[in-house]
Amino acid sequence: MFEQLLKIISLESLIFVFKEKNLFQEFQFHQETQALKHAEISKISDSDILRTILPIELSSKMFGSGNLNLLAFIFALRHKIVELNSLFHLSALKLLRSSSYLTLKNEYDIIFGKEFSLNYHELENYLHPNFWGQAKSIPIVGFSAVGCHFVLRDVTYCRAFDAYSLPFCNYVTSELFCDHHLREKFWGEQIFNECSVQAKIAQFYLNIHNFKEIDEESLKKILDNFFHYFDESFRRKKPSSISTEKVKELLNFYSFSTLEELKIVGGEELRKRFLEKAKYFHPDKGGSQDRFRQAREYYENLRELLGK
């Protein structure tokens, strides 16, 4: 049941949510330190992320089903954010040509399953500094009581992070964490009292068995009802119901003459053209927010058609 929930929240969708800076709000720090002055941290609420990722009729259903249903989605969302942050960590080690890259990759494969490596290779372009308009910086994503947080970090610096107590570490290292912050390894078997709150809650959301602490019977009933609604909605809106004219519009947007041409060149070429459109229309580059969203929507529609 929980696996179904995780599939709805795709890593790719999360990446584009964190890339859309206009979705973020200013994060007010509770203290003034030298580290805080160097950190530019944004925040976005869990519910805003879910509203952006989910189709409107599904998000309305989710928010209208009570606190327990929302809690289930927030747990799934934060579990996926932990996985996304781990992908960014692995990418940082690869850029550093660190000797611990393969060791960490194997550790993550054990924790997240064999799909972790597949996701890394599929999303590798998104995990590179170039995608974020940077020379050497890769995102760190996390969360706190006020929402989810995003900050760009130069890969040569320690990647320890807590929005309140550890927004920035200025120690250079060839590993993920400097010697002062080795205890920030949230995926280890033992978590230390001295580590940050971020590391502690990351370990909590990392373990999906913690989700079972929620009342199982009530949660199962809610999610069963939701997935019934989701299945019905999907059947009503499956790609085969798209009109011929709409299919032509989708193909023309990405300069394909026919659906057969798209199937011949495959998903990699479609992704390449999508990235070009996304870069051209991105608001940070002077583009249109509506056109940026359209590019992503059309890309998702064509991916569905390609999979048929």
pLDDT along the chain (308 residues), means of 10: 77 90 59 44 84 74 60 88 98 96 95 92 95 94 85 94 85 94 87 83 88 62 56 50 84 92 89 84 70 81 78
Q: Are residues 109 and 20 in the same domain?
A: yes
133: left (phi over 0), alpha (psi -120 to 50) or beta: left
Q: Are residue 66 and residue 166 in the same domain, yes or no?
A: yes
Domain match, 283 and 205 both: no
In this structure, the answer to whether residues 24 and 88 fall within a common structural domain is: yes
Q: Which two tokens stand for residue 8?
A: 């709805």
**Structural domain span for residue 299:** 239-306
Number of domains in the chain: 2
Within a domain: 222: no
Task: Evaluate the CA torsion angle 29, 73, 11, 2 in order and state its sign.
Answer: positive
Are residues 278 and 200 both part of a single domain? no
44 & 119 share domain: yes
Contact 132, 152 (CB under 8 A): yes
Is position 292 within any domain?
Answer: yes
**DSSP strands (E only) in 12-169:** 25-26, 42-44, 137-144, 147-154
Q: Would 135 be classed as within a structural domain?
A: yes
Give me the residues paired with residue 286 across strands: none
Dihedral over Cα of 56, 57, 63, 68: its sign? negative
Asked if residue 220 belongs to a domain, the reply is: no
* Same domain membership, residue 94 and residue 199: yes
17 and 120 both lie in a single domain: yes
In a domain, 223, yes or no: no
Query: Is 228 within the bounds of a domain?
Result: no
State the CATH number of the domain containing residue 253. Answer: 1.10.287
Q: Tell me, yes or no, whether 155 and 285 share the same domain.
A: no
Q: Cβ neighbours of residue 189 under 8 Å, at least 6 residues apart?
A: none
| 140 plus 49 within the same structural domain | yes
Residue 156 near residue 96 (C-beta atoms within 8 A) = yes
CB 167 within 8 Å of CB 157: no
Q: Residue 98 region, left (φ>0) first, then alpha (ψ -120 to 50), else beta?
A: beta
Dig out the tokens for 208 from the structure.
């999906």
Rounded to whole angstroms, how far apart are CA atoms 299 and 279? 14
In a domain, 266, yes or no: yes
Do 89 and 179 belong to one domain?
Answer: yes
Judgement on whether residues 256 and 204 belong to the same structural domain of the protein? no
Instruction: Give the end of a domain, one of 173, 197, 213.
Output: 213
Structure tokens at 185: 């390894």
| Residue 104 within a domain | yes
